Amino acid sequence: MDKTFQKRNFITIFTKGDWISKLSYVIPGAGNIFRGQVIKGLLFLLLGICYLIFMVQKGAGFLRDLVTLGDTLQGMNFNEALGIYEMSEGDNSMLILLFGVVAVVITVSYLAIWLFSIYSGEAARANAAAGKKVRNFVEDVKSLANENIRFLLLAVPVTGLLVFTVMPLIYMILMAFTNYDQDHQPPGNLFDWVGVTNFFTLLSAGDRLSATFWPVLGWTLIWGVAATFSCYFGGMILAMIINSKGIRFKKFWRTIFVFTMAIPSFISLRVVATMLGERGIINVLLQQWGFTESALPFLSNVTWARVSVILVNFWIGVPVTMLMVSGILMNIPGELYESAKLDGAGPVTTFRKITFPYMWFVTTPYLIANLISNFNNFNPIFFLTGGEPHTLTYYKGAGKTDLLVTWLYKLTKDSNDYNLAATIGIIIFLISAVFTLISFSRSGSMKNEEGFQ
Amino acid sequence: MKKHTLIGLRTEYLGRALAAAVISLICLFLPYVQLSDGKNSLFQVFLKLLGDSGRTGLSVIVFGTVILTITSAATGIFSVIKMGKTQTKIWQCLQIFSAIFWVILLFAGKMILEGNGIAAHVLVKELGIGFWIGLIASIVSLVLIMKAAYTNTGYIVLTVLGIIWMFPVLWILLTSLRAEQGYYVGYFFPKNLTLQNFVKLFGNESVLPFGRWWINTLIVASCGCVINTLIILATAYTLSRTRFSGRKAFMNVLMIIGMFPGFMSLIAVYNILKGLGINQSLLALVVVGAAGAAMGYHVTKGFFDTIPRAVDEAAIIDGASRLQIFLHVTLPLSKSIIVYTVLGNFLGAWSDYIFPSMLFGDKQSSYTVAVGLYWLTDFRRIDRYYTQFAAGAVVVALPIVILFIFLQRFYVEGLSGSVKG
């Protein structure tokens, strides 16, 4: 086989290539320009020039500042000519960090384009060497609707993700390694890199912060498990009752329960929160009916509040599982039940030996995904209790029903401890990642992705 | 199983059901409540109320309980002696009402006794043993009769749960129609009904720009759901139907990004929006929503995966381009998943709270309903605005509920799809 037909990689394109290929490493697009794809090549060149101008004018400075995060403090300087104190502008660490991240993302994106241009030039060379026609620009554009459709369809999503998800995420992850807390608020103050100190203060025992973190983490885990499994079994049992023989008006019953699902959760949760208040309707009725003499502390006592949020979440979550399970229940082969009935199995045994194992098998991945989303279930906690009741043993703002996410929210919104919030965010990510890995090792759905086709 | 059956009856349950019914009958004469003249049975209370000409309307519950328990037990004896399907059905019907009256008595007992001046202070937990056994026996009897008559006992569970599930919905509906203002009222059913709360909400003289909020949300949710759906469909199609190097890596990156709590980076997003000059505007909400939409591609991709590849291949042979296949073959086959995606995104944008609340701060004119309604239930405002909050909640929830109930089928399909993928 002729060597020109062999596929070349990043290094061999350079070492084995001719001068054009070598040039394309230095001048982006050269590989295309000299091989007949002038417009494409010029576009690459244009992008390269744009990037260079950006880096020379701003980018390099951004990247340099990233090291120190600014060193000039804003201050008052005496202006001798005017005889007054005037404000001198200092560095804004937050903007420096943000611009630094922007510069990094732009650089990485450009590197990708640069690599792409090299490969594109190489493809043009390989085509020419093989005697095929080198595609001109119009044909390239047309190929977007066909074999290169991914560039057409993914352009907008990827750009969106880069600008509004990836970039902010990198920014926040970096923030976990700074001391950007309420004592270091730009522009009045600078913040700086502190390494992994935040993780240590949060995790190590003894500090007020860690005395908050561990109990909150514990409650987050308890909440996640309780919320997931209560809704799972509740929904399963409800679905089985509605779908059982002899229940008429199935659609009517389903609609009743779907009602709570259809109402946006912030509304139903706020409504229930007002109902559970000390002077709320539930307390009023309980007293009127003689069930209790004084108002019950549904949301103001720690244990009561924790049970209340789980129960209210049950109220909201059961219909979702009910709908989902209804579909799966119908897939269970009916013969299984008939033969079980012939063997004299009662409803409990049938559930234990047939329905539940089947459901468990099918829904394990869903269950783990649900568990993760419940760890991060912001709405029920925030709209019901807002994390209250407060306690003096916790770091300011955090309450006894706060989950890690709601605490994170409070740290960003109320107390501006961005570094702590970012650290907690990373810890949440780690927890989710562990559970996702467990889920993957248990299910084959990722492996046999092609299985349906 | 069959040998116990007699003309659609399971006779072995009938005897036990009768026993339970008779126990609840006996309980009418056991101590019910401690009064000034000693322990009184429910029957004695019944007689006292009967003799009182100025009794309250609620007294009917005591009458009902006593009379129904007696009649039901009598019918029970009759239908056990002369077994038959019709008798049992009648008995079941009577026993349903009897049990309902017992349960209502549990809730209304205090009001009846105190309202008629029979007792000064009643607590449910201090009620006599006659009441509790009677209540339980009555329910047990009902369950047994239903078993005997082959009626699914699931109805009882569904009814109880249904009441609990609808209770808050009913409460907010009634509150939105309540003429008496204020958060605290000592009763469930409003004394006077009015539509003023709705009128005030949208009226010009209103302090709250609720109409504005509603329109804002509608704009954001409609634009958002269209754009997001397009993005999700495009992403899902590419990831499902085309194969290219880096595809798996791309999916993994999306998954990893998704494991970070989304609003962790809102501060950065806010600063970027500020840099672009669109912070504090509705456009920002749409843009940010659309930018992150691609991460919700899973369910749709799972659906596309199930469309046979042969369909694509046939179209390719006919000379169709990939884009044409996507637009003219795949999309028309995916109506249910499109509806699901649109609905899900509309709902999501309609009820998003965190981001708008961070974005708009004090700029009330840009609020969406989620932020606005939350603002209304702050403890400083709740007394003043509670009925209006309720009206707002109804106005906000209504379109969604209607949409949802009509499109339920698609939602279920999407949900079961999410389990597979």
Closest to B355 (Cα-Cα) out of B342, B341, B345, B368 = B368
User: Which chain A residues have a beta carbon less than 8 Å from that of B324?
Assistant: 145
Residue type, A71: D
* Mean of per-residue pLDDT scores for chain B: 84
Do the Cβ atoms of B292 and B354 come closer than 8 Å? no
pLDDT at A133 over 80: no
Q: Residue B4 has what pLDDT?
A: 47
- How many Å apart are CA A299 and CA B353, to the nearest integer? 21
Residue type, B211: G
Q: Average pLDDT, stretch A105-116?
A: 89
Q: Judging by DSSP bridges, how do beta strands A75-79 and A84-88 pair with one another?
A: antiparallel
Catalogue the long-range contacts made by A134-137 (C-beta closer than 8 Å, 24 or more residues apart): A134/A35, A134/A36, A134/A37, A135/A37, A136/A36, A136/A37, A136/A39, A137/A37, A137/A38, A137/A39, A137/A40
Distance from CA of A83 to the nearest CA of B (A): 36
Residue A168 and residue B152: Cβ atoms within 8 Å?
A: no
- Burial zone of B350 (CB within 10 Å; 0-12 exposed, 13-18 middle, 19+ buried): buried
Residue type, B349: A
Closest to B224 (Cα-Cα) out of B408, B366, B347, B395 = B347
B337's enclosing H/E stretch is: helix B335-350
Residue B168 and residue A268: Cβ atoms within 8 Å?
A: yes
Residue B326 and residue A422: Cβ atoms within 8 Å?
A: no
**Which of B158, B405, B418 lies nearest to residue A253, judging by beta carbons?**
B158
CATH value of B2-151 in 2.60.40, 1.20.140, 1.10.3720, 3.30.160: 1.20.140
Residue A161 and residue B164: Cβ atoms within 8 Å?
A: no
* Mean of per-residue pLDDT scores for chain A: 82
Measure the N-to-C terminal CA separation of chain A; round to a whole number of Å.
Answer: 36
Distances from the Cα of A263 to the Cα of A267, A376, B89, B147, B169, angstroms: 7, 21, 38, 36, 9
Q: How confident is the model at residue A3 (pLDDT cuts 50, 70, 90)?
A: very low
The residue with tokens 């990893």 is B256
For residue A322, give the chain B residue with the closest CA: B412
Q: How confident is the model at residue A446 (pLDDT cuts 50, 70, 90)?
A: very low
Beta carbons within 10 angstroms of residue A160's beta carbon: 21
User: Which chain A residues have a beta carbon less than 8 Å from that of B353?
Assistant: 266, 379, 382-383
pLDDT at B289 over 80: yes
Residue B237 and residue A153: Cβ atoms within 8 Å?
A: yes
- How many Å apart are CA A443 and CA A189, to the nearest integer? 50
Q: Residue B100 has what pLDDT?
A: 93
Q: How confident is the model at residue B40 (pLDDT cuts 50, 70, 90)?
A: confident
Q: Residue A444 has what pLDDT?
A: 53
Q: Residue A309 has what pLDDT?
A: 93
- Burial zone of A19 (CB within 10 Å; 0-12 exposed, 13-18 middle, 19+ buried): exposed
**Which of B107, B186, B292 lies nearest to residue A284, judging by beta carbons?**
B186
B143: left (phi over 0), alpha (psi -120 to 50) or beta: alpha
pLDDT at B203 over 80: no
Distance from CA of A403 to the nearest CA of B (A): 12
C-alpha Rg value of chain B to the nearest Å? 31
- How many Å apart are CA B64 and CA B244, to the nearest integer? 75
User: Which has the higher per-residue pLDDT, B228 or A450?
Assistant: B228
Residue A324 and residue B415: Cβ atoms within 8 Å?
A: yes
User: Which chain B residues have a beta carbon less than 8 Å from that of A158?
Assistant: 294
**Does the CB of A153 have a partner CB in chain B at under 8 Å?**
yes
- CA–chain centroid gap for B21, Å, is 34
Q: What is the DSSP letter of B124?
A: G
Token pair recorded at residue A323: 């709908």
User: Which chain B residues have a beta carbon less than 8 Å from that of A166?
Assistant: 257
pLDDT at B417 over 80: no
Residue type, A421: A
The residue with tokens 């990485």 is A108
- Burial zone of A444 (CB within 10 Å; 0-12 exposed, 13-18 middle, 19+ buried): exposed
Residue B110 and residue A412: Cβ atoms within 8 Å?
A: no
Q: B316-332, pLDDT tens digit by residue?
A: 888 888 888 888 888 88
For residue B266, give the chain A residue with the closest CA: A168
- How many Å apart are CA A15 and CA A36, to the nearest integer? 22
For residue B389, give the chain A residue with the closest CA: A271
Residue B322 and residue A146: Cβ atoms within 8 Å?
A: yes
N residues, chain A: 453
C-alpha Rg value of chain A to the nearest Å? 31
Beta bridge partners of A390: A399
Q: What is the DSSP letter of B14?
A: H
**Does the CB of A433 have a partner CB in chain B at under 8 Å?**
yes
Return the C-alpha torsion angle A305, A306, A311, A316, nearest 10: 90
Do the Cβ atoms of A314 and A234 come closer than 8 Å? yes
Distance from CA of B366 to the nearest CA of A (A): 18
Beta bridge partners of A75: A88
Token pair recorded at residue A21: 């290929």
Q: How confident is the model at residue B421 (pLDDT cuts 50, 70, 90)?
A: very low
Q: How confident is the model at residue A2 (pLDDT cuts 50, 70, 90)?
A: very low
In our burial notation (b when 16+ CB lie closer than 10 A, e otherwise), range B123-153 reads: ebeebbebbbebbebbbbbbbbbbbbbebbb
pLDDT at A311 over 90: yes
DSSP track, B26-88: HHTTSEEEEETTEEEEHHHHHHHHHH-TT--GGGHHHHHHHHHHHHHHHHHHHHHHS--HHHH
User: Which chain A residues have a beta carbon less than 8 Å from that of B351?
Assistant: 264-267
- How many Å apart are CA A105 and CA A108, to the nearest integer? 5
- CA–chain centroid gap for B93, Å, is 28
Q: Average pLDDT, stretch B383-411?
A: 83
Beta carbons within 10 angstroms of residue A155's beta carbon: 12
Residue type, A277: G
Distance from CA of A441 to the nearest CA of B (A): 15
Q: Average pLDDT, stretch B36-48?
A: 84
pLDDT at A415 over 70: yes
A387 half-sphere exposure, CB direction, 13 A CA radius: 22
Token pair recorded at residue A131: 């005697």
pLDDT at A128 over 50: yes
Residue A453 and residue B309: Cβ atoms within 8 Å?
A: yes
Q: Residue B205 has what pLDDT?
A: 64
- How many Å apart are CA A272 and CA A282, to the nearest integer? 9
Token pair recorded at residue A338: 């008939």
- Burial zone of B348 (CB within 10 Å; 0-12 exposed, 13-18 middle, 19+ buried): middle
- How many Å apart are CA A452 and CA B349, to the nearest integer? 32
Residue B420 and residue A445: Cβ atoms within 8 Å?
A: yes
Q: For chain A, percent helix, then strand, then coil, each to nearest 5? A: 70, 5, 30
Residue A268 and residue B162: Cβ atoms within 8 Å?
A: no
Identify the CATH homologous superfamily for domain B210-420: MetI-like (1.10.3720.10)
Distance from CA of A367 to the nearest CA of B (A): 9
Q: B102-128, pLDDT tens digit by residue?
A: 999 888 888 888 888 777 788 888 888
Structural domain boundaries in chain B: 2-151, 210-420
For residue A314, give the chain B residue with the closest CA: B165
Task: List A residues 240-269 in contact with B (Cβ-Cβ < 8 A).
Answer: 241-242, 244-247, 253-268
For residue A142, give the chain B residue with the closest CA: B321
Give the contacts of B11 (CB within 8 A, at least 6 positions apart): B4, B5, B83, B148
Residue B412 and residue A147: Cβ atoms within 8 Å?
A: no
Q: What are phi and psi of B41, to 5 degrees?
A: -85, 165
Beta carbons within 10 angstroms of residue A197's beta carbon: 15
Distance from CA of B154 to the nearest CA of A (A): 6
In our burial notation (b when 16+ CB lie closer than 10 A, e otherwise), range A242-262 reads: bbeeeeeeeeebbebbbbbbb
Q: Residue B276 has what pLDDT?
A: 83
Among A9-18, A79-88, A178-187, A391-400, the range scoring the smallest mean pLDDT is A79-88
Q: Residue A87 has what pLDDT?
A: 66
- How many Å apart are CA B60 and CA B229, to the nearest integer? 57
**Which of A94, A169, A275 lies nearest to residue B257, judging by beta carbons?**
A169
Closest to B148 (Cα-Cα) out of B195, B202, B80, B64 = B80
**Which of B242, B292, B412 lies nearest to residue A150, judging by beta carbons?**
B242
Distance from CA of B75 to the nearest CA of A (A): 25
Q: A262-300, pLDDT tens digit by residue?
A: 888 888 888 898 888 888 889 888 888 888 888 888 888
**Which of B106, B234, B259 lies nearest to residue A153, judging by beta carbons?**
B234
**Does the CB of A340 have a partner CB in chain B at under 8 Å?**
no
Beta carbons within 10 angstroms of residue B316's beta carbon: 14
Distances from the Cα of A200 to the Cα of A125, A196, A207, angstroms: 55, 7, 10
Among A103-117, A234-248, A321-335, the range scoring the smallest mean pLDDT is A321-335
Q: Which domains does chain A have, with CATH numbers?
A: 3-195 (no CATH), 200-446 (1.10.3720.10)
Residue A271 and residue B172: Cβ atoms within 8 Å?
A: yes
